[in-house]
């Protein structure tokens, strides 16, 4: 049972670790976080309750975004939506407007969805892990942060900082990603149950100021004398990475459906999901054993509800985005039967080749568009 604590780990000196960390934090931690002040603008006493609303907003903003980036957006947010009630009486569009520039817009959308859910729950703030995690956009780490920050309740956290700290502390020889259960147990085990708010913040501060991913400042680390990676080895080796899997190539068949006016059929993707709201030519992923012409016909039947015959090849291109490689194989098609319907997109449109430039396409499609323009110019 690798995910439970070994005897050796149960002997790690938690009392000394807690004491030394909190002592370090009192001098060197971040103590000017606006959402961690009470209504008098003071640092709260142990056990004192804080308003969860500003903390919730901050913690969601802090997902994959650094503190100094978040701060101005949080200020703007609190000016625009100072309370849960003001957020509820607003709408998604205004929320996204305030979110503009912060990235990961689904976070903003989920905050709004969660606000609506809270309203239906009589606007009572949850006091349990499940109560928070069932809200959109809140996983276990964010829930633990909110519960410990707002109510000083003893819930652990496990973000990248904590995974790195623990990996180094015990010189864990594998990727934490594969052993999250064990890391959750260790985070809970380490947590000072008498001062969860301060302790979790101290963990984060230690991770961002001292136990950094590169160039950790071990010489000033309060855990220097307890850290196995420091004493034995090189801290920089941890956390271990999981063996990188090679990115898989997917093959996508795309149809240029034309009508007798020489127009081309394009569709607008749904707003949520990949390339939300952008326009594309109909098509989709090739299934194993499928001929690409069949893929195109099948996808167009599923997405547009028409039967097409797949004709001349236009272009094949490769594109890499994120972790994925795609091969796009593009064929002309003509309608054999049926009336186009937007079965899995927002809308369809017949457009002339010269009007394609007026519609936003995913980057990979630009080369298809220029191939089309080229082709039509020669006719």
Residue 371: count of CB within 10 angstroms of its CB: 15
Q: How far apart are CA 195 and CA 18, in angstroms?
A: 10
By CB under 7 A, the count of residues binding DNA is: 42
> How big is the chain by its Cα radius of gyration, in Å?
27
Measured distance CA(290)–CA(329) in Å, rounded: 13
Nearer to DNA, 367 or 375 (CB): 367
Contacting DNA (CB under 7 A), which of 34, 47, 72, 139? 139
Q: Give one DSSP letter per residue of 189-231, joined into a string.
A: HHS-TT-HHHHHHHHHHHHHHTS-SSS--GGG-TTGGG-HHHH
Quote the DSSP letter at residue 375: H
Q: 293 vs 209, 237, 253, 313, CA distance in Å?
A: 56, 49, 8, 10
Per CB under 7 A, the segment of 18-26, 64-72, 73-81, 327-335 that binds DNA is 64-72
Which residue spans within 209-306 are E strands per DSSP? Answer: 249-258, 264-268, 279-280, 283-285
If one asks whether residue 159 binds DNA (CB under 7 A), the answer comes out as: yes
276 binds DNA (CB under 7 A): yes
What is the number of residues in the chain? 379
Are 107 and 137 in contact, with CB atoms under 8 Å apart? yes
d(CA 239, CA 357): 46
- Contact window for DNA (CB under 7 A) among 71-79, 270-278, 304-312, 326-334: 270-278
Query: Is residue 360 involved in binding DNA (CB under 7 A)?
Result: no
Contacting DNA within 79-108 (CB under 7 A): 103-106
Give catalytic status of residue 59 as yes or no: yes
CB of 3 to DNA, least distance (A): 8
- Binding segment for DNA (CB under 7 A), chosen from 16-24, 229-237, 244-252, 258-266, is 244-252
When asked if residue 140 is in the footprint of DNA (CB under 7 A), the reply is: yes
Choice from 83, 121, 309, 320 touching DNA (CB under 7 A): 320
- Taking CB under 7 A as the criterion, the residue among 131, 136, 305, 311 binding DNA is 136
Least distance (Å) between residue 184 CB and DNA: 11
As separate numbers, helices (DSSP H) first and strands (DSSP E) second, the chain gives 15, 7
Taking the least distance from each CB to DNA, the nearer of 117 and 336 is 117
The CB-of-320 to DNA minimum distance in angstroms stands at 5
Greatest distance between any 2 Cα atoms in the chain: 80
Residue keyed to tokens 């001292």? 210
Check residue 130 for interaction with DNA (CB under 7 A).
no
Quick one: 106 or 128, whose CB is closer to DNA? 106
Task: Name the minimum Å distance from CB 308 to DNA.
Answer: 25
Q: Is residue 293 a contact point for DNA (CB under 7 A)?
A: no
Return the range that interacts with DNA (CB under 7 A); candidates 59-67, 217-225, 308-316, 339-347.
59-67
Q: Give the integer Cα–Cα distance in Å for 291 and 148.
A: 56
Determine which one of 19, 26, 59, 93 is catalytic.
59
322 binds DNA, rule: CB under 7 A = yes
End-to-end Cα spacing for the chain: 69
Residue range at the interface with DNA (CB under 7 A); choices 74-82, 132-140, 222-230, 289-297: 132-140
**In the complex, least distance from residue 107 CB atom to DNA, rounded to whole angstroms:** 8
Q: Contact between 213 and DNA (CB under 7 A)?
A: yes
β partners of residue 255? 331
Residue 287 neighbours by CB under 8 Å, 6+ apart: 295
- Reported as half-sphere exposure (CB side, CA atoms, 13 A), residue 78 has a value of 16
Is residue 352 involved in binding DNA (CB under 7 A)? no
- Closer CB to DNA, 123 or 324, in the complex: 324
For DNA, the binding residues (CB under 7 A) are 63-66, 103-106, 110, 133, 136-143, 159-161, 163-164, 177-178, 181, 213-214, 239, 241-242, 244-245, 247, 273-276, 320, 322-324
- What residues act catalytically? 59
């Amino acid at each position: 049972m690798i995910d439970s604590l070994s005897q050796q780990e149960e002997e790690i000196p938690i009392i000394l670790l807690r004491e030394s960390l909190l002592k370090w934090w009192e001098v060197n931690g971040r103590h000017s976080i606006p959402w961690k002040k009470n209504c008098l603008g003071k640092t709260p006493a142990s056990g004192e309750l804080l308003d969860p609303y500003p903390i919730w907003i901050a913690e969601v903003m802090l997902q994959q975004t650094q503190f100094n980036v978040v701060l101005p957006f949080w200020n703007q947010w609190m000016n625009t939506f100072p309370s849960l009630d003001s957020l509820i009486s607003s709408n998604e569009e205004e929320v996204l407007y305030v979110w503009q520039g912060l990235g990961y817009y689904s976070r903003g959308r989920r905050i709004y969805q969660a606000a609506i859910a809270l309203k239906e729950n009589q606007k009572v703030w949850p006091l349990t892990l499940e109560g928070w995690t069932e809200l959109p956009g809140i996983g276990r780490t964010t829930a633990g942060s909110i519960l410990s920050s707002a109510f000083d309740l003893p819930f652990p956290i496990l973000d990248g900082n904590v995974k790195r700290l623990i990996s180094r502390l015990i010189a864990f020889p594998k990727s934490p990603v594969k052993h999250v259960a064990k890391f959750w147990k260790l985070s809970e085990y380490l947590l000072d149950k008498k001062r969860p708010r301060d302790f979790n913040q101290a963990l984060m501060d230690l991770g961002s100021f001292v136990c950094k991913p590169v160039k950790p400042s071990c010489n000033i680390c309060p855990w220097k004398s307890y850290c196995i990676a420091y004493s034995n080895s090189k801290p920089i080796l941890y956390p271990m990475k999981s063996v990188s899997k090679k990115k898989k190539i997917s093959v996508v068949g795309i149809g240029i459906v034309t009508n007798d006016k020489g127009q081309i059929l394009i569709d607008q993707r749904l707003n949520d999901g990949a390339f939300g709201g952008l326009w594309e030519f109909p098509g989709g992923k090739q299934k194993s054993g499928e001929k690409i012409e069949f893929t195109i016909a099948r996808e167009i039947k599923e997405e547009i509800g028409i039967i097409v015959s797949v004709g001349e090849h236009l272009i094949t291109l490769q594109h890499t985005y994120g972790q994925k490689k795609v091969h796009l194989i593009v064929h002309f098609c003509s309608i054999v039967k049926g009336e186009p319907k937007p079965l899995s997109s927002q809308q369809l449109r017949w457009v002339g080749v010269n009007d394609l430039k007026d519609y936003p396409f995913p980057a990979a499609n630009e080369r298809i568009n220029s191939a089309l323009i080229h082709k039509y110019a020669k006719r």
